[in-house]
Structures are given as structure tokens and as C-alpha cells.
Amino acid sequence: MLEKIIKYWNDKPFQSIIIIALIVRLLAAFFSQGYGMHDDHFLVIEASQSWVDGTDYNDWLPKTQRAIAPSIEPVPQGHSFFYVGIHFLCFGFFKAIGIADPKIKMLLIRLIHALFSLIVVVIGYKITLKLTNEKYARQVGLLLAVLWVMPFLSVRNLVEVVCIPLLLLGCWYLIMADFKKQVLWYFLLSGFVTGLAFSIRFQSAFFILGMGIYLLITKKFKGLVIFSLGTLISILAIQGIVDYIIWNRPFAELMEYVRYNIAHKYDYGANVPEMYPLVLIGLLIPPIGLFLFFGFFRTWRKYTILFIPVMLFFAFHLYFPNKQERFILPILPFIIILGAIGWNEWVEISKFWQRKPGLLKGCWVFFWIINLIMLPVFTLTYSKKSRIEAMYYLYKKEPVRQILIEDTNRKGVLALPNFYAGQWMVHYQLSKSQTGDSTMFGELKSNKHYYKEIYDKYFFVLHPECFPKYVLFIGNSRLDERVANLKSVFPVLKFEKQIESGFIDKIVYKLNPVNKNDDIFIYSTADCKADRL
């Protein structure tokens, strides 16, 4: 059996890599439930499903903003509707054919993303083969297929990851235009698909600009015009027309996105330039990560068609103050491609590495051991398990209009996904951050459509119409004390279920408590009536 596998690998390396990539991504689609970060669920899934159900979870649409604050003019929130809109169509289709269970819907979404992500492996292999040889292409293809983090990321709804296949396709069409003697059709396709990448992740603009600079410095002026035309057609059709329909002006969301990020460039993340190189090197597992990073910079002259767009994107993110690890993910496959090419070409001419083949082999053996340990762990991990299972527990319960999230161990309240409850409940949030002004107890600290922060538990005494059907306690720290504290308002709190966080969630939480992966304790207030002050 092993001999047959090895023979198939040697005879058909490309097909072997695709089969391997498909298997691990299908495993991730079935077993890696949940979401990785806030944005890949709440800015995509919650928004699109709420639109299908006739509401607006994030308060993005003009009519929702008018309903909340009639005296205030609605404003865009700075979110592209393209990727969210695709999910709106998917969920609308699921509803039309009778698929209602949230977990089944998300399984189908993950399967779609798993298949879409295969473009990264296919095009990465083809680009490497076209620029170099089959030996390098095999290595690149295998790395793109089974790098420990790739299957996990491939089934997430992160726009930083979803834009990658389109950026790679855009580069592939440019390369094909070179090899086909500047066939204009390829320039048009390249511009169009990278324009789609822009509509998914606005920062892709710097990558696209780099592609244009490459065409300019290589004096492919006709190709530059056609490429630019394809990009403009794509962006105008999506950003221009969609925003005009919603806001009565084109590019409204894009303009707000730019304005907001400039105004709040120091409010999120950290201005630590070395973070991005460390993230890329770390994801690629040192010392191989260092080798590939070195190899990437060696390609600056020979493979400018890829290097210039990647480097411009990288340089912008190094410069811009707001830095978060996920922001750099769009260039990870390009670092693998160019890094493997540059490093292998260096090894072939390096006297040191020619004399130390055992050392290099040992580095790769170490890489693959660590990678193959981490690969199944992350491919099969259920991320944010307690949050999802807590809300799924409420799925198919009698209609629940309001719940209370008690998170008084922290100043901020954990966001829980209504999507998995299958109903759009108002979340009253009670955190550690409370005012000492007793006159404010009956007021709201913030009043959004589905998130309403309250100053104090006595809010429900003054507003019995807001009485929650369930209380969800976040974390077990001081749990008995917190339950007893709420019993002054809800005298009969009935414990229903404890939802434990997942294995990896627990490890991540211990490593860094900023990751709010607590157990969640669900209590019912069905037998309670709010006591009066």
C-alpha cells in the first residue's frame, strides 16, 4: 500500500497534493466548528443571516439606524457588502430549501470555503511550476496544502483569508499574460479578480497597486491600461452600484472605512512593526520560517511580478499604526511561494549549505514533526465552543425575546452569537464597569438594536418589559456570589446547563486571559418576577 502511495506521488505530484489538501480541508469543515475571531462571525454571519430574517443585527442599514435614532442622520459603518452579501444569498437559499439548523448551515458554509481555498493550493503550485521547476512546485504545493494553520484558516469567514485565492488568481493571469505574449484578455481577468479581492478586503488595494507598478516599470503600458480597466469595472460594479442603491451615493462604505481607520489608527492593535515578521516566521515554524523569510527577500529582482505587490502590501502594514496579526495573512501564501523559491535557489549556490546537507535535512525534519503535531490539533479544533453551544442550547426553545449576560468579572461583556440560537434576542449586558450614580440604575449605558448595556441589575425592576428569560453567567470565578447577587432581583434562578469551553480554547485562555474563552452557566428565570425596590 505504501509503495503504491509513493509511486502515485512520484507519478502524479500535483494530483496527490490536491487530494491531500482536500482531505484536510474537509476534515476542518466537519470538525473545526466555531469561529476564530470576532470579525469572522459577527461581521459576516450574524449580519447576513439577520438580513434574511428581516432584521439588521449590526445596525448597518439606514432604516435600522432611523428606527433607533430618528433624529440622527444614518451613516455608513465602513463595511463592504460584497462578501456579506454572498452569505446573504447563501442563507436565503438555505431558507428557501428548508435548512434551518444553524450548525448545518455553518457546515455547508465551511464546505464552500474549503473548496474555494483549494484555489490557493492549485494556483500556488502552478505559479511555482511556471516560474521555476517541478521540484520547487511540489514543495510549495505541499506547504500550502498542509501547513498546520492553513486548513483551520481555510474554513473561517476571515476576509483576510478569503481574499487570498483571488489575489493569487490575479497574479496567475498576469504571469500567463507574460508567457502568452501579453494577451490582453489575461490583463482584464487579472484586474477583475483582484478588484473582487479588494471588495472583500479593502487593504488589497496596496497589493493591486503593486501589480500596477510592476506593469509600469516593465513598460507593459497597454497591459496596465487593460488591467486598470478590469479592476475599475469590478470595483465600480460592486462598491459603486451597491452603495448607491443603499446610500444613494457610490463608495459610501469605502469612504467611511478610510475615514474611520485614519481617525482611529491608534485605537486598536499595537504599533509594533516587528510583530508582522514574527507572525509570518512563527506561522512557518522556525528555523524554516527564517529560511523562507530570507528566501522571500532574495527574489526581489528576479520575480518582481510577485515581489512588488507583496512587498508594497507588507510595507504599508508595517507603517500603519493599527496592527493585528490577521491583517498580514493575505500574503502568507506568497511568502511561502517566493520564500521556497528564493531559499532553494540560495541553497544551490551556498557553499555552507552544500557542505551541511544533514543540518538542512534536520531543520526540515524538525519542521515536519512540529507541523504534523499541530496540524490535526488545529484542523479538528472547535473554536469558541462555549459561546456557540450556549446559544445553540437556546435553539428551538420557546421564543426568547431577551437574555441577560452577566460578565461582572470584566469591564467588557462577552459577545454571544444569536445566529446559533436561531432567533434574534436582545442581549442585556451587565459588566464590572458600573456607575456609582444611583440615579442611572434604570437607564441604559448603550442602546443598540441587539446589545444594550445596563448600569445595574435593578434596571429590570424599573423596566419589567425587558425581563430576561435566561441569565448566562460568563466564567466560574465568584459564580456563587454572582448568582446570589442577582437573586435580589430574580429570587428563583434555576440552573439549567454548564457549557464548557473547548480544549484549545482553554489552553489559549491560560496562555493569554485576553482570549475570553470561559465556561458559561445558563440559568432560567422562568419562575421569577422582578422584585420591586
DSSP-derived letter for residue 450 is S
Q: What is the pLDDT of residue 521?
A: 96
Contacts of residue 439, Cβ cutoff 8 Å, sequence gap at least 6: none
Residues paired with residue 426 on neighbouring β-strands, in sequence order: 402
The domain locations on the chain are: 12-157, 164-263, 385-524
Q: What are the contacts of 18-21 at 24+ separation with CB within 8 A?
A: 18/118, 18/121, 18/122, 18/145, 20/142, 20/145, 20/146, 21/118, 21/121, 21/141, 21/144, 21/145, 21/146
402 phi/psi in degrees, rounded to 5: -140, 145
Q: What is the pLDDT of residue 527?
A: 64
Q: Give CA torsion, residues 132, 134, 137, 142, to 10 deg.
A: -160
Question: Which residue shows C-alpha cell 522556525?
Answer: 286
Peptide bond between residue 13 and the one before it cis (omega within 30 degrees of 0): no
CB 313 within 8 A of CB 203: yes
Q: Give CA torsion, residues 140, 145, 148, 149, to 10 deg.
A: 100
* Antiparallel, parallel or unpaired: β 520-524 and 444-447: unpaired
Rounded CA-CA distance 105/124 in Å is 30
Contacts of residue 81, Cβ cutoff 8 Å, sequence gap at least 6: 242, 243, 246, 253
Rounded CA-CA distance 169/193 in Å is 7
- Residue 319 CA to chain centroid, in angstroms? 22
22 phi/psi in degrees, rounded to 5: -65, -45
Q: What is the pLDDT of residue 531?
A: 46
Q: What is the pTM of this model?
A: 0.94
Question: Which residue shows C-alpha cell 508594497?
Answer: 312
Q: How far apart are the first and last CA of the chain?
A: 76
Q: What is the pLDDT of residue 257?
A: 94
Question: Which residue shows C-alpha cell 444611583?
Answer: 438
CB 425 within 8 A of CB 402: yes
Q: What is the pLDDT of residue 439?
A: 55
Rounded CA-CA distance 319/161 in Å is 21
Contacts of residue 115, Cβ cutoff 8 Å, sequence gap at least 6: 25
Q: What is the pLDDT of residue 518?
A: 85
Residue 444: count of CB within 10 angstroms of its CB:
16
Cell triple for 487: 437573586
Q: What is the pLDDT of residue 529?
A: 56
- Residue 502 CA to chain centroid, in angstroms? 19
CB 490 within 8 A of CB 471: yes
Mean pLDDT, each 10-residue run in order, the chain (533 residues): 84 95 98 92 96 94 87 90 97 97 98 98 98 96 98 97 98 91 88 98 97 96 96 95 93 94 81 89 97 96 96 96 92 98 96 93 97 96 94 90 91 89 93 60 72 87 90 92 91 92 75 73 78 42
C-alpha distances (whole Å) from 528 to each of 393, 397, 468, 470 are 20, 18, 10, 10
Q: What angle do CA 82, 63, 37 make, to 5 degrees?
A: 45
